[in-house]
Amino acid sequence: MATNVLQRARTAMHELPNAPAQMAALDRMSVDELAEKFRELYGEPTRTRNKPYLRKRLMWRIQELSEGGLSLRARAKIDELGDEFPERWRMRQAASSGLPAPSVDSRLPAPGCTIEKTHDGTLHRVTVLEDGFEYQGEAFRSLSAIAKRITGTNWNGFTFFGLKATTRAPQPEGGHP
C-alpha cells in the first residue's frame, strides 16, 4: 500500500508544472473538490471538512511535491526524535524513504494486554487490540480518543496513559540475563 501511495504522489508531482497557479486554484475550490484534491495528492481520503485547513494542507503538499520535500537534515532529525512524533508521521516518513513502515508502535504493549489509568478517582481500563483499542465495550482507533472520552478535553493518548518508548535492557555477554 505504501508503494501505491508513493506512486500516486510521484505521478501528482509530475502533474504540478506550475505550483503557484495550482495553489491559487485552491481558493476557488469547494470543500468536495478540496477533498478530492487531497485524495489525489496524499493518496488517502481526508477526515476533515474544514476548508481553510484543507487548503493549508494542500498548499503545503503542492509545495512539497514541487520543491522536493524535507531536507536530508530535517529527515535525519525526524529519525533521531523517532517516538516523539505521531505514528502517522513515522509511517509516512518510512514510506517516503522506501523502508517498511513500523507495524506496531513501540510504546504499546502487545495486543490483548490492558492499559490502566486512574483519573479523578476512577480506574479506567483499555484493552489493546490488533487494530485499535477497546474501552468500556466500545472500539476506538486511538488512545487520544479514549483520553478525550475520559477527560472531555484533547490529550495525547500516550501522554495521558503514561506510555513511553520501550527499550531493551543490555544483555550480558553470553546472552543470558
Domain ranges of the chain: 2-67, 114-160
pLDDT in tens, 96-139: 655 554 556 778 888 889 999 999 999 999 999 888 899 999 99
Which residue is listed with cell 478525550? Answer: 148
Cα dihedral sign, 157-158-163-167: positive
Q: What distance in Å separates the CA atoms of residue 134 and residue 126, rounded to the nearest whole number?
A: 6
pTM of the predicted model, to two decimals?
A: 0.40
* Phi, psi (degrees; rounded to nearest 5) at 116: -120, 145
pLDDT tens for the chain, 177 residues: list them: 455 555 655 565 555 568 888 889 999 999 999 999 999 988 889 989 999 999 999 998 888 888 777 778 887 777 677 655 566 665 666 666 555 545 567 788 888 899 999 999 999 999 998 888 999 999 998 899 999 999 999 999 989 999 876 544 444 444 444
Q: Could you please report the per-residue DSSP string of 36-83?
A: HHHHHHHSS--S---HHHHHHHHHHHHHHHHHTSS-HHHHHHHHHHGG
Q: How far is residue 59's CA from residue 170's CA, in Å, rounded to a whole number?
A: 46
pLDDT at position 67, please?
Answer: 78
The Cα-based distances of 137 to 19, 64, 128, 133 in angstroms read 48, 42, 12, 10
Q: Say what the pLDDT of residue 111 is.
A: 87
pLDDT at 176: 45
For the chain, give the number of residues: 177
Distance of CA 120 to the CA centre of its chain: 29
The DSSP output letter for 102 is P
List strand residue ranges (DSSP E) for 51-172, in order: 114-119, 122-129, 132-135, 138-140
Q: What is the pLDDT of residue 36?
A: 94
